[in-house]
Chains A and B, each alone.
Chain A
Amino acid sequence: MNIAVAKPDKPDTASDNFAAVSARVPGAGKVADTRRQALDTFQRIGLPHRRIEDWKYTDLRALMREVLPLAAAPEATALARAETAAKLHAIDGVRRLVLVDGVLAPDLSDLAGLEAGLSIRSLSEALQAGDDRVLSLDTADPMVALNTALMTDGVVIEVADGTTLARPLHILHITSGGAPAAMFTRSRIALGNAAVATVVESYVAGEGASAYQVHDSAVISVGDHARLDYVRIVEDAPEAFNITSAAVSVGAHAHFNAFGITTGGLVSRYQAVVTVAGSHSEVQTNGVNLLNGKQHADTTLVMNHDVPHCASREGFRAVVDDRGHSVFQGRINVRQPAQQTDAKMMTRALLLSDEAEVDNKPELEIFADDVTCGHGAAVGALDDSLLFYLRARGLPQKEAEAMLIQAFVGEAIEAIADDNLRELVTAAAVRWLEARQ
């Protein structure tokens, strides 16, 4: 049998999409070259499958099968549907940046009256201006390559040195509905030195949207003495795909506190590479997956410690019901100069049914000798004696389960610093629990 990486024997949607994107977002010079090379990379490898080590548990060739055609730029009806969805998923007190079907929708976004030190542009502007800072994602991975080749729009957020944003930014991805299609987006979030910001990114569907594909990416940089709180909420439609890749670089004496919750979508993967490039910095990444039906959600994190005196904490909790499948792959690389690194990773999973599945792959690669590193994992079911105690006090079975599940994920959600965002994420968890009753 030929186990070499073969091209998918599907119609070549990627190059059709490439032609469509090139017409919409011309780009030139390095941008154009990078995109063309990325297209080649994707076409050479195709959709990743289980024989590619990093994608072992998330075989997109089997799960996704094909890349859908590029979504049309949103027309009036799509924008109207998106507006309804935007209202439904509005968050109080934030500056909202709305992407509809992969395109920034200025009329639905709060682009006026930007605070001093805050700049917001669309990705397509940045690409057309030849801004190559949006290109710094490693395209060796086929899905990063695909996204790089086809990225159409997104937001580019820059926070100047010393600026503290009082109002969180909310990047809201809405798929308006209509025929299933693919969206290719990228955002860049750059915090200058001593800048402070909170960014929420959420993914939702308008009425009628079903088997669409979100192909998203983010290039994030946190300057020296800066702090970024970043929350991701994936509440896509039950048939949808969401493949998102991120590269994060963190400067010295900086904080990066990230949290992700996935309750929606049929198949999702969030793959992020976080590199601590300046000393005395702290990174916290926490995540929660709440899955049922045949949902599959994969979180793959690479934590690079390149410099000394930094700390990282990764905590991940999964609750899996029915035939759901939750995957967590976490790699911690501690390079030789990164002495006094304190890196820990802990995953816990609750299986609510016999057919639920979790895969957990921790990897530590340590080349420095004076470090504290560790990882742990626990998988179990709800504790029967706790369930009985709650039922003996009057809670019906499902409510007793909901109370214990909420307690389980609540311990992860506590890591979110902002009170409103913590409530928001809690509300997403509660919505999932209520749908279960």
Chain B
Amino acid sequence: MAALLEVKDLQVSVADREILHGLTLTVNEGEVHAIMGPNGSGKSTLSHVIAGKPGYEVTGGQILFKGEDLLEMEPNERAAKGVFLAFQYPVEIPGVATMNFLRTALNAQRKARGEDELSTPDFLKRVREVSGSLGIPQEMLKRGVNVGFSGGEKKRNEVLQMALFQPSLCILDEMDSGLDIDALRIASEGVNALRAPNRSMVVITHYQRLLDYIVPDVVHVMSKGKVVRSGGKELALELEANGYAQYQEAAA
């Protein structure tokens, strides 16, 4: 299987403090990887650096996406090439209607890939299909982006975008936090529907429950800015039972 994402010995600092200390991770096409690890171990930092958020200084290592140097690309170029981050904390954007945002974003990605813009009827049809399957009411799409959305609604809106943009790498940063039991099931079904041989997922979570729905091929444990152990899906159950104590010592 071809590698889609290769993170090699990545070192990242924020405000002169090193957060990732030589992290290595390879995700092959079609695989689902879970990343678990204690608070502050650097999971969101890794997801932000992959998406291209400013403010992080990469002091060593590299990230390849489909063999290309991801760190050389602007965030929007990464999005157009198929990198998608479902944020742990999606922002509210007052004054920007959700539909307008979705359409502008989708067309910007298509334009960057040299594809035609989607016509209004085609676009509306796709949004209706996707929002329908995720149980997102049309009324929500008329509001400003995430404005006045509950925590769970914001997360569902992230999954909606993922389904609409059809990225090849989906990074889900604690998609399960804030979701009620039904919403978790519906959102997970949405994610599972996107599983495909040419699409990979990195699922960051604290809870085994999500991995009952989105069953991973590989589970990684992150501690103190490194991957300290990788294994199959049974590793998540072990963590649930024993916690992180042994890894925190190992990384120290």
Binding site for B on A (CB under 8 A): 383-386, 388-397, 399-400, 403-404, 406-408, 410-411
**Chain B nearest CB, measured from A305 CB (Å):** 31
**Chain A nearest CB, measured from B91 CB (Å):** 5
**Chain B nearest CB, measured from A422 CB (Å):** 14
Known pairs A391-B52, A392-B51; A404 contacts B79 (CB<8 A)? no
B109 interface hit (Cβ, 8 Å):
yes
Q: A394-B105, A396-B76 provided; 13 other pairs, C-beta below 8 A?
A: A385-B91, A390-B105, A392-B52, A392-B85, A393-B105, A393-B108, A393-B109, A393-B165, A394-B112, A397-B74, A403-B104, A404-B93, A407-B94
Q: Indicate if the CB atoms of A395 and B108 lie closer than 8 Å.
A: yes
Contacts of A406 in B (CB 8 A): 95-96
Of all chain A residues, the one with the shortest Cβ separation from B111 is A394
B244 interface hit (Cβ, 8 Å):
no
Q: Indicate if the CB atoms of A394 and B79 lie closer than 8 Å.
A: yes
Known pairs A394-B80, A397-B76, A411-B95; A389 contacts B104 (CB<8 A)? no
Query: Per-residue CB proximity of B63-84 to A under 8 Å, as 1/0?
Result: 0000000000011101110000
B137 interface hit (Cβ, 8 Å):
no
Q: Interface of chain A, helix or strand or loop or mixed?
A: helix
Of all chain B residues, the one with the shortest Cβ separation from A402 is B104
**Chain A nearest CB, measured from B105 CB (Å):** 4
**Chain A nearest CB, measured from B147 CB (Å):** 10
Q: Indicate if the CB atoms of A391 and B76 lie closer than 8 Å.
A: yes
Contacts of A410 in B (CB 8 A): 95
Known pairs A384-B54, A390-B105; A395 contacts B76 (CB<8 A)? yes
**Chain B nearest CB, measured from A82 CB (Å):** 37
Of all chain B residues, the one with the shortest Cβ separation from A414 is B95
- CA A397 – CA B79 in complex, angstroms? 13
Q: Indicate if the CB atoms of B105 and A395 lie closer than 8 Å.
A: yes
| Those of B206-237 within 8 Å (CB) of chain A | none
With most chain B CB atoms within 10 A of its CB, the pick from A383, A395, A404 is A395
Q: Indicate if the CB atoms of A394 and B74 lie closer than 8 Å.
A: no
- CA A385 – CA B54 in complex, angstroms? 9
Q: Indicate if the CB atoms of B96 and A404 lie closer than 8 Å.
A: yes
- CA A388 – CA B144 in complex, angstroms? 17
B131 interface hit (Cβ, 8 Å):
no
Binding site for A on B (CB under 8 A): 51-55, 74-76, 78-80, 85, 87, 90-91, 93-96, 101, 104-106, 108-109, 112, 144, 161, 165
Q: Which of B74, B87, B90 contacts A396 (CB 8 A)?
A: B74
Contacts of A399 in B (CB 8 A): 104, 108
- CA A395 – CA B145 in complex, angstroms? 15
Known pairs A399-B108, A403-B104; A391 contacts B96 (CB<8 A)? no
What are 19 A-B contacts with C-beta separation under 8 Å? A383-B91, A384-B54, A388-B75, A389-B87, A389-B91, A391-B74, A392-B51, A392-B53, A393-B161, A394-B79, A394-B80, A394-B109, A394-B165, A395-B76, A396-B108, A399-B108, A400-B76, A404-B96, A408-B95
**Chain A nearest CB, measured from B113 CB (Å):** 10
Known pairs A395-B108, A396-B108; A388 contacts B76 (CB<8 A)? no
Q: Indicate if the CB atoms of B74 and A392 lie closer than 8 Å.
A: no
Q: Indicate if the CB atoms of B96 and A403 lie closer than 8 Å.
A: yes
Q: Indicate if the CB atoms of A394 and B106 lie closer than 8 Å.
A: yes
With most chain A CB atoms within 10 A of its CB, the pick from B55, B76, B144 is B76
Q: Which of B78, B93, B94 contacts A389 (CB 8 A)?
A: B93
Contacts of B144 in A (CB 8 A): 407
**Chain B nearest CB, measured from A389 CB (Å):** 5
Contacts of B75 in A (CB 8 A): 388, 391-392
Q: Indicate if the CB atoms of A407 and B95 lie closer than 8 Å.
A: yes
**Lowest 9 A-B CB distances belong to which pairs?**
A407-B95, A394-B109, A394-B79, A393-B105, A391-B75, A394-B108, A407-B96, A391-B76, A394-B105
Contacts of B93 in A (CB 8 A): 386, 389-390, 404, 407
Contacts of A391 in B (CB 8 A): 52, 74-76, 79
Of all chain B residues, the one with the shortest Cβ separation from A411 is B95
- CA A410 – CA B95 in complex, angstroms? 7
Q: Indicate if the CB atoms of B76 and A394 lie closer than 8 Å.
A: yes
Of all chain B residues, the one with the shortest Cβ separation from A400 is B76
**Chain B nearest CB, measured from A349 CB (Å):** 16
Of all chain B residues, the one with the shortest Cβ separation from A409 is B95
**Chain B nearest CB, measured from A160 CB (Å):** 40
- CA A403 – CA B53 in complex, angstroms? 19
Of all chain A residues, the one with the shortest Cβ separation from B48 is A388
Contacts of B105 in A (CB 8 A): 390, 393-395
Q: Indicate if the CB atoms of A388 and B54 lie closer than 8 Å.
A: yes
Contacts of B79 in A (CB 8 A): 391-394
**Chain B nearest CB, measured from A404 CB (Å):** 7
Contacts of A392 in B (CB 8 A): 51-53, 75-76, 78-79, 85, 87
Q: Indicate if the CB atoms of A403 and B74 lie closer than 8 Å.
A: no
- CA A410 – CA B78 in complex, angstroms? 30
Contacts of B78 in A (CB 8 A): 392
- CA A113 – CA B78 in complex, angstroms? 60
**Chain A nearest CB, measured from B3 CB (Å):** 22
- CA A406 – CA B95 in complex, angstroms? 8
Q: Indicate if the CB atoms of B91 and A386 lie closer than 8 Å.
A: yes
**Chain B nearest CB, measured from A189 CB (Å):** 32
- CA A388 – CA B89 in complex, angstroms? 13
- CA A108 – CA B144 in complex, angstroms? 43
Contacts of A404 in B (CB 8 A): 93, 96
Contacts of B51 in A (CB 8 A): 392
With most chain A CB atoms within 10 A of its CB, the pick from B74, B85, B105 is B105
Contacts of A397 in B (CB 8 A): 74, 76
**Chain A nearest CB, measured from B235 CB (Å):** 29
Contacts of A408 in B (CB 8 A): 95
Of all chain A residues, the one with the shortest Cβ separation from B85 is A392
- CA A146 – CA B24 in complex, angstroms? 74
- CA A312 – CA B87 in complex, angstroms? 42
- CA A79 – CA B178 in complex, angstroms? 66
Of all chain A residues, the one with the shortest Cβ separation from B96 is A407
**Chain A nearest CB, measured from B67 CB (Å):** 21
- CA A389 – CA B51 in complex, angstroms? 10
Q: Indicate if the CB atoms of A403 and B101 lie closer than 8 Å.
A: yes
- CA A407 – CA B146 in complex, angstroms? 14
